[in-house]
Structure 1
Amino acid sequence: MKSLRRSEWTLLAFIIVYSFIPSVGGLIRVLELAGGPTIAPENPRALADPIPIVLHILASILFCMVGALQFLPSIRRHHRAKHRAIGRAIVIAGCVSAASGLWMTHVYSFSEDLQGALLYWVRMVLGSLMIGFIIWAIIAIRARNVYQHSASMLRAYAIGQGASTQTVLGISWMILSGSEAMGPMRDGIMVSAWGLNLLVAEILIRLLLPRPKTRSVRPAVAKWQQFPVSDPDNEA
């Protein structure tokens, strides 16, 4: 970590601060389910079936917080063993986060104020995509395709960081309107957060990731064109 440049420390600090509120809220929920004092509003779904939400919270924190290290060039270049070890950990964490999120979306019972049809289907699609991106990233790096590996993991990370952007947008809405967003407005804010994250991810992919060099393919030349052809009229 001593080899990190100032810009990398700044990026790491930004991601940690950006992930802070949902991470702390999740840890408070885990402590409550473990028998600690009740601080957050009671969640009957978590009390009835706590294992999926505990797995989701812990895996999401690991994926978002520790996964931030994977975007630091110094870690990738000078600490390759650490990069691979962290990568294995966040691959598992990302898949557990997405799978538990899919389970809760489909199995838990939500009121229309908390999850409408739009939010349900977006959660199902994006959770599946997150797992798909992670699997594709593994396949790509095994094929030595660093560009596709990095792009796929960045897209998966953008989906995994949805809660952070949702928190920022939700707080902004509360400040502007004076009340918490519920119903279709809540669905719209949450879906917009994922859309914004994926848009930023695509911009970063195009601006920062070096595309693999493609070899220029010359048209095949017929064998008879490779050698001089004699003119029969000039032959003796």
Structure 2
Amino acid sequence: MSTSVAFVSRSDNEQGMPNSKWLTLEHNGVLFPPPYEPLPDDVKMKYDGKAVDLPPEAEEVAGFYAAILELVLARDNTFKENFFQDWLTLMKRYPPRDGTIITSFDLCDFRPMFEHFEAEKAKKLMVTSDEKKGAKTAKDRMEAKYIACSVDGSKGEVGNFRIEPPGLFRGRSDHPKKGSLKFRIGPEDITLNIGEGAPIPIPNIPGNWKAVTHDHTVTWIAQWTENVNGYNKYAFLTNSG
């Protein structure tokens, strides 16, 4: 198991810059969620009683709402309005392939998608204990490289290496943006921070990093901006000190 690293400020003589936290830094970047897998051909939302042929990009977002169809949140007016407006905006770029024009939320029927998701959940409950252990072992083995890093030649760990998948922003209480679409984050959104001369990690999905920097005064390895509130987010090295 990798050990945590206590970060200390380096003197100017050591690094040539004030407040340096490390001399050398190597890591494997961040882990992106897998690409969206389209639903089976017989699972489609309906509009005004008719099945709609959505392209994957629009289907994925419709699925975000369908998945929570029976939660109280799905009946919240602000949540519904923000979701619907963001979905309509997305469909200007990825319109239904059958020519359906969606303009009314009340005519949308997401239940076929919801029922499919519920059936998939039920299948997962039937998985045996051995199958669960095997899946966890494979997951842990795959994630191990992203946890591990090297700071000044010592083994360290990255605390939050997983990039959050896209979805609908839930917010708290009466947040005015609840229901807004949280975009999928890709390599082109990520600025990496890594040591000079260290191998540049290859993303686990197609794409190139937005930028690569070598900032010795910080302990984050990756930075990006989420679209709903415009907040900067970071993947940090674990700090035991």
Give the TM-score normalised by structure 1: 0.24
Say which one has the larger Rg.
1
Normalized per residue, which structure has more helix? 1
